[in-house]
Structure 1
Amino acid sequence: MKTVDGAKLLASLGEGIKEVRGRLTPDAPMDRVTWFRAGGLAELMFHPHDVEDLATFLKLLPEEVPLTVTGVGSNLLVRDGGIPGVVIRLSAKGFGDVELAGENRIKAGGICPDKNIAAMALDHGIAGFEFYYGIPGSIGGALRMNAGANGGETKDLVVEVHAVDRKGSQHVLSNADMGYTYRHSAAPAGLIFTHAVFQGQAGDKEEIRAKMDAVRQHRETVQPIREKTGGSTFKNPEGHSAWKLIDEAGCRGMMIGGAQMSPMHCNFMINTGQATGYELEYLGETVRSRVLEHSGVMLQWEIKRLGKFMPGYEVKEFLGRATA
């Protein structure tokens, strides 16, 4: 059931849209974008050619049109009713570069895979980036959520972040401006991160390689990396491990339709075949409800959920249970 109309939205943008050089796709299927391989349509998807093209488009876009920004789709759950308005997905050609930016400094585009910046650091003997080798996402997402693993966090490396706002104006933010806390930044939600500069320290290549190999081996051993998954489903509550709470609540391997909490790592939700966005989100809320009932802990989603529910297939938080 189609619930968006991208052609109508595109036509409403008028003649000015001819100035835009990037690709505009009405009714873009988000199940081809997200790693879950589930979800509805984006009303209109835009792949900007470069920063200037992005700014041009945003200046043309009416304020009332909803705007959503996605990365590579690694930790994204799209609901089956689709995403209204415009979805911006940065192009690899315009925003995927990674390069040296000074002594032990690296500049990376917003859509650059995290593992690419780790590989660049290894090539040049720059330590501190090893944890990125185990994060299946892009730099833009890492900046937004202060991505981390294996004892490292994005906040430890950021020097400055370049961004474009909803009106097409460009900004440069310092590390302090980003307001980092655990798996969160306080940067305005409307900013689109185009690239950033990171600072590491001089290191021994063999030691860096050994740490990256350890990260890779850990992921391959304990995480379902070959499945259709969104990575860690829930944040670790203070003083707890999310997977332990899920396991203790009896949710390891739990299935709803084609959605399952991985038997290998029960804080990873997977699409075993043809799971819908509804089944995935309903499973997640079922787990949250059971963990709350068992331990009294309210798990918080780490996966970002976007879009509209299909009529009759709404999912309430904790399945509507009282949380007070």
Structure 2
Amino acid sequence: MTDLSDPLPQVRGRLTPNRPLSDLTWLRVGGPADWLFQPADREDLADFLRDLDPSVPVFPMGVGSNLIVRDGGVRGVVIRLGRGFNGIEIGDDGSVRAGAAALDSHVARKAAQAGRDLTFLRTIPGAIGGAVRMNAGCYGAYVADVLREVSVIHRDGRTEVLPAKALELGYRSSSLPEGAVIVEAVFDAGPGEAAALDARMDEQIAKRDASQPTKDRTAGSTFRNPAGFSSTGRADDSHELKAWKVIDEAGLRGARLGGAVMNEKHPNFLTNAGEATAAELEALGEKVRKRVYEHSGLTLEWEIMRVGQPSA
């Protein structure tokens, strides 16, 4: 554990020692962070990062929608952006500027009100920072299709604006500079009629609620859809192979380990069905990966981020 007697930089936001993180994640599991920092604004964040001992680890955390925090907690400083980082602005050129803490669904709705189409974000859980980092997408659209640029604050306190191409966005992946914290993103959203965009989002919500366990404690999709292979033997990134299907075919719908369950409604949703620990959730996920490989020869890759230390 980080020595809590070591002085940390003065802040205007909130800096809390030994802060439990379980209530900040959708799965409601995980141990404490040595420190949780909630900066007041960009200047507060930049000053803190600049003055923080470089040996102290830093982990930017969003709204915890696609995250397992292990039971032993997270060493160093967890940074969680909130007010001061959640603004949404529509530009005269039709661009949409959103703070990293703005919820994806809020950005989609506000853009639609202004006649700009970011409807694919409506059903994606989480905030814009995570959506950019993971190149979030659904219904055939991805962040990479509409992202113009991002503003980041580096570990030395520098603010930099990076064009989308610098992030090398791929399927559920990006290449952000080490230690950089996303604070804002700008999207080039196509035009649309507000009522039609609202109707499309209503349809997406209905479709999601019909097929996904939106009322249960989950963290969204557990595993990435596996890439198939074309007739030439090259990897096919169309993702017609679905993770839920290979899990189901391996007989793992409803599989349980302690309080952790592969959801009956959608087997690619790892679920805290009661008092699951992070260890049970992760172990069940690894069991699924092993069984799927034995059954189909496919290796499922985690989509949920797992951070921190196991319990002692």
Sort the TM-score into its range (normalised by shorter chain): over 0.9
Match of 1:118 in 2: 108
Match of 2:14 in 1: 23
1:24-173 map, 5 Å: 24-91=15-82, 93-127=83-117, 129-173=118-162
Q: Report the AA paired with residue 272 of structure 1.
A: A
Deviations 1:254-304 (A, max 9, x none): 110111010001000110111100000000000000000000000000000
SS at match of 1:208: helix
Q: Report the AA paired with residue 162 of structure 1.
A: S
CA distance in 2, matches of 1:204, 1:32: 39
SS at match of 1:294: helix
CA RMSD of superposed structures (Å): 1.1
1:281-320 map, 5 Å: 281-311=282-312
CA distance in 2, matches of 1:90, 1:195: 11
CA distance in 2, matches of 1:303, 1:251: 18
| 1:209 and 2:198 are equivalent in the alignment | yes
Q: Report the AA paired with residue 70 of structure 2.
A: R
Match of 1:224 in 2: 213
Moved over 3 A (4+): none
Contact 1:13 1:60 in 2 (8 A): no
* Superposition deviation, residue 144 in structure 1: 0.3
Deviations 1:213-251 (A, max 9, x none): 111011110111111110000000113110001001111
Pick which of 100-109 and 273-282 moved more: 100-109
Q: Report the AA paired with residue 255 of structure 2.
A: M
User: Where does the alignment leave 5 or more consecutive residues of structure 2 unmatched?
Assistant: 229-240
Contact 1:34 1:77 in 2 (8 A): yes
Match of 2:252 in 1: 251
* Superposition deviation, residue 101 in structure 1: 2.4
Deviations 1:102-124 (A, max 9, x none): 32211100010000110011111
Match of 2:7 in 1: 13
Deviations 1:12-46 (A, max 9, x none): 125xx33x101001111110100000011111000
Q: Report the AA paired with residue 200 of structure 1.
A: A
CA distance in 2, matches of 1:189, 1:224: 35
CA distance in 1, matches of 2:178, 2:196: 38
CA distance in 1, matches of 2:219, 2:283: 15
CA distance in 2, matches of 1:207, 1:151: 18
* Superposition deviation, residue 100 in structure 1: 1.1
TM-score (norm: length of structure 2): 0.94
CA distance in 2, matches of 1:230, 1:189: 25
Contact 2:109 2:198 in 1 (8 A): no
CA distance in 1, matches of 2:49, 2:29: 28
> How many pairs align?
300
Contact 1:56 1:168 in 2 (8 A): yes
Deviations 1:43-65 (A, max 9, x none): 10000000100001001111111
Deviations 1:62-119 (A, max 9, x none): 111111110000001010011001000012x110111112322111000100001100
CA distance in 2, matches of 1:167, 1:33: 27
CA distance in 2, matches of 1:210, 1:150: 15
Contact 1:233 1:303 in 2 (8 A): yes
TM-score (norm: length of structure 1): 0.90
Contact 1:13 1:61 in 2 (8 A): no
CA distance in 2, matches of 1:47, 1:202: 35
* Superposition deviation, residue 186 in structure 1: 1.5
Q: Percent identity, please.
A: 46
Aligned with 1:197 (options 186, 206, 209): 186
Q: Report the AA paired with residue 115 of structure 2.
A: G
